[in-house]
Amino acid sequence: MKRFAWLLPFVFALELLLAAQQPLAIYVIDTEGGKAALWIAPSGQTVLIDSGSPGARDLDRLMEVIAVAGVTRIDYLISTHYHVDHVGGLQELVKRIPVGTFVDHGPTVEGPVAPGLREQVPGFQAAYAEVWAGAKHLVVKPGDMIPVAGLDWRLVASAGAALKAPIAGAAGAGQSNAACAQTQPKDITGDPENGQSIGSVITLGRFRAADFGDLLWNREIALMCPENPLGTVSLFMVSHHGLNASNSPTLVHGLRPRVAIMQNGTNKGAAVDVMQTLRASPGLEDIWQLHWSYTAGIEHNPPGVFIANLEEPATMAARMTAPPGLGGGRGAGGPPHVPAYWIKVTASADGTFTVANSRNNFSKTYNPSEGAR
């Protein structure tokens, strides 16, 4: 074997080259208005953004996709914030698959530290501290990087703070954001944890994606005005399930995504004005959704081929024609949608990416354009 030792550096270099040529895969998992997305880097390292709601429904769906993807370990689990539809599955998930590093924004601003605001998952902070105590734990701030081999994974929002220095080399970064002048702050009351959400911009060569959890409207303005520090992206994971407490024109139009993917439910998200903001964004080609939305209705849902989970036609017809206040369909506590389909994104360093619907096997490839992001 010693006489072949000289080959080892070449074998190692070949392995690195092959890894660099592998695509990025993103599985957007249906948690019926919650959030969970599995990212698999070209290196094979894995990142899970959020873990859905408590109970077997979302955990089984997560594990199904993890199995389909051939994943045996989560290298980084990012909890964007501590709401039930984002961290509810975490405690059971870690019993089913190893997690290397837990990533969060630091202590909650709700629950035990905020009188009058309940902890949405009872006892979560104490239980979570026990979980990450046996692994690695990162509390991140804007400007930090997650060391995922082969990707530039940059944190741009966390714990209410926002990145201000432009991202070097990103197209459009540091330029004035024209949408700021047309966007006014909103008086948003409610759960403050949303505004603590971790925001990420992920880059693989000429492909760029952005995910902001449930970051709120005014936090988006603070991030994107008066200059846009992030530049433009290929893919936008629509914030806050498509609710209009988020998704301001300053964010959406500043990012100028080609494709938007919405992690909504049948009765959650896909607000009409959000759909209009998305469609008015310069350069947007398509909106993909996890669910047909009764909120968006006939006029604003995308064509069915872009929607992973549909209602039965009879159910949809009954709901759409019911008198106000008498509609059916699944709301809180309703039965789960079975089967649950996911959306998959496959992206290459040259900027080409394909989005696929697991329900109907429809896919569309987006080729890099001149001056691609």
Q: Is residue 71 part of a domain?
A: yes
Instruction: Identify which of 45, 130, 119 has the alpha carbon closest to the alpha carbon of residue 88.
Output: 119
Q: Is residue 17 part of a domain?
A: no
Higher pLDDT, 6 or 35: 35
Tell me the C-alpha distance between 255 and 6, whole Å: 48
Tell me the C-alpha distance between 269 and 243, whole Å: 5
pTM of the predicted protein model: 0.91
The pLDDT assigned to 332 comes to 45
Confidence of residue 10 (pLDDT cuts 50, 70, 90): low
Tell me the C-alpha distance between 208 and 299, whole Å: 30
Confidence of residue 2 (pLDDT cuts 50, 70, 90): low
Q: What is the CATH classification number for the domain harbouring 47?
A: 3.60.15.10
In the chain, how many domains are there?
A: 1
Structural domain containing residue 70:
23-366
Average pLDDT of span 255-268: 97
Here the tokens at position 33 are 């208005």
Confidence of residue 8 (pLDDT cuts 50, 70, 90): low
Q: Is residue 326 part of a domain?
A: yes
Q: Is residue 61 part of a domain?
A: yes
The total number of residues written for the chain in this structure: 373
Instruction: Identify which of 167, 168, 171, 227 has the alpha carbon closest to the alpha carbon of residue 372.
Output: 171
Tell me the C-alpha distance between 345 and 350, whole Å: 15
Distances (CA, A) of 23 to 213, 263, 350: 24, 22, 10
Instruction: Please determine, for residue 335, whether its predicted confidence score (pLDDT) is greater than 80.
Output: no
| Alpha-helix residue ranges (DSSP H) falling in the chain | 8-21, 56-68, 84-87, 90-93, 124-133, 217-224, 249-255, 272-280, 297-300, 313-321
Instruction: Please determine, for residue 120, whether its predicted confidence score (pLDDT) is greater than 70.
Output: yes
Cβ atoms 118, 109 nearer than 8 A:
no
Confidence of residue 344 (pLDDT cuts 50, 70, 90): very high
The pLDDT assigned to 188 comes to 87
Average pLDDT of span 63-71: 98
The pLDDT assigned to 11 comes to 45
Cβ atoms 214, 188 nearer than 8 A:
no
Amino acid in position 236: F
Q: Is residue 188 part of a domain?
A: yes
The pLDDT assigned to 331 comes to 40
Distances (CA, A) of 87 to 92, 108, 128: 10, 12, 10
- How far is residue 126 CA from its own chain's centroid? 26
Instruction: Identify which of 296, 291, 325, 295 has the alpha carbon closest to the alpha carbon of residue 306.
Output: 291
CA angle 214, 218, 219 (to 5 degrees): 55
Confidence of residue 38 (pLDDT cuts 50, 70, 90): very high
Distances (CA, A) of 273 to 182, 185, 190, 210: 15, 15, 20, 20
Distances (CA, A) of 20 to 15, 24, 208: 9, 10, 16
Q: Is residue 371 part of a domain?
A: no
Instruction: Please determine, for residue 173, whether its predicted confidence score (pLDDT) is greater than 80.
Output: yes
Q: Is residue 15 part of a domain?
A: no
Higher pLDDT, 247 or 182: 247
Torsion angle of C-alpha atoms 185, 158, 210, 111, degrees rounded to 10: -80
Q: Is residue 300 part of a domain?
A: yes
